Amino acid sequence: MRDKKSYLLASVAVVGALAATTASAWQSPTKHKYLTQPLQICDKGTFYVGGAPKISPFHLEATPGEPREIIIGHMYVQFQVPMVSKSWPLIMVHGSGYTGSCVEGTAGGNEGWADYTTRHGIPTYVVDQSGRGRSGFDHTVYNEAEYLVDTNPAAAKAMIPQLGGHWGSRAWSDTTYPPLIGHWFGHILPAGIANITTGDMVRKGAPGDPLCATEPAHCNQLGRLPMEPEAPWGVDQAIKSRTGKGAPAGLGTITPDNAQVLENASYLALEAYKFDVPNTEQTLPGSTCPSCNPTALNATNTWTPKALAELVVGLGGAVVATHSQSGQIGMNMVRVLREQGNLSYLKGLIQIEGGSDTVASGTTVADFVNNKIPYLAFKGDYTVTAPAATALVAAIKAAGGTADYIELDQPGPWQGSYAGAYGAGYTGPFAGVSHMMMIEDNPAPNGKATNLQVMDVILDWADKNISKPKTQSCGQDNVPPGLSNKPGGLPPGQAKKI
Q: Which segments of 236-364 does DSSP mark as H helices, in order?
A: 237-240, 259-263, 300-314, 326-340, 358-361
User: What pLDDT, on the 0 to 100 scale, is given for residue 304?
Assistant: 98
CA distances in angstroms from 88 to 121, 123, 259, 319, 344, listed in the order given: 9, 7, 53, 6, 13
Residue 92, C-beta contacts closer than 8 angstroms, at least 6 positions apart: 100, 103, 113, 114, 124, 125, 126, 127, 321, 323
Contact (CB, 8 A) for 242 and 31: no
Contact (CB, 8 A) for 490 and 315: no
Contact (CB, 8 A) for 314 and 345: no
22 pLDDT more than 60: no
How does residue 437 score in pLDDT terms, banded at 50, 70 and 90? very high
User: What pLDDT, on the 0 to 100 scale, is given for residue 199?
Assistant: 92
Question: Is there a cis peptide before residue 294, judged by omega within 30 degrees of 0?
Answer: yes
42, containing H or E segment: strand 41-56
Across residues 209-229, what is the average pLDDT? Answer: 82
Contact (CB, 8 A) for 98 and 276: yes
Strands 200-203 and 186-189: antiparallel
155 pLDDT more than 60: yes
487 pLDDT more than 60: no
10 pLDDT more than 90: no
User: What pLDDT, on the 0 to 100 scale, is given for residue 243?
Assistant: 66
Q: Which SS3 state, helix, strand or coil, does residue 179 take?
A: coil
pLDDT in tens, 36-82: 899 999 999 999 999 999 999 999 999 999 999 999 999 999 999 99
User: What pLDDT, on the 0 to 100 scale, is given for residue 236?
Assistant: 87
Distance between CA 241 and CA 27 in Å, rounded?
13
pLDDT in tens, 413-436: 999 999 999 988 888 999 889 899
Q: Considering only CA atoms, which of 157, 381, 185, 209 is closest in space to residue 276?
A: 185
Q: Considering only CA atoms, which of 482, 456, 455 is closest in space to residue 469?
A: 482
Domain boundaries of the chain, sorted by first residue: 42-140+279-473, 167-275
- Superfamily, domain 42-140+279-473: Alpha/Beta hydrolase fold, catalytic domain (3.40.50.1820)
How does residue 186 score in pLDDT terms, banded at 50, 70 and 90? confident
337 pLDDT more than 50: yes
Q: Which of 132-141, 179-188, 198-207 has the highest mean pLDDT?
A: 132-141
pLDDT in tens, 378-390: 998 877 778 899 9
Contact (CB, 8 A) for 35 and 115: yes
In the chain, the percentage of residues whose pLDDT exceeds 70 is: 84
Distance between CA 39 and CA 52 in Å, rounded?
36
How does residue 446 score in pLDDT terms, banded at 50, 70 and 90? low
Contact (CB, 8 A) for 300 and 73: no
Contact (CB, 8 A) for 126 and 159: no
> Which one is predicted more confidently, 192 or 41?
41
User: What pLDDT, on the 0 to 100 scale, is given for residue 355?
Assistant: 86
Contact (CB, 8 A) for 412 and 439: no
User: What pLDDT, on the 0 to 100 scale, is given for residue 447?
Assistant: 66
Contact (CB, 8 A) for 203 and 434: no
430, containing H or E segment: none
User: What pLDDT, on the 0 to 100 scale, is given for residue 248?
Assistant: 64
Distance between CA 332 and CA 325 in Å, rounded?
12
Distance between CA 179 and CA 462 in Å, rounded?
28
490 pLDDT more than 90: no
User: What pLDDT, on the 0 to 100 scale, is given for residue 495?
Assistant: 31
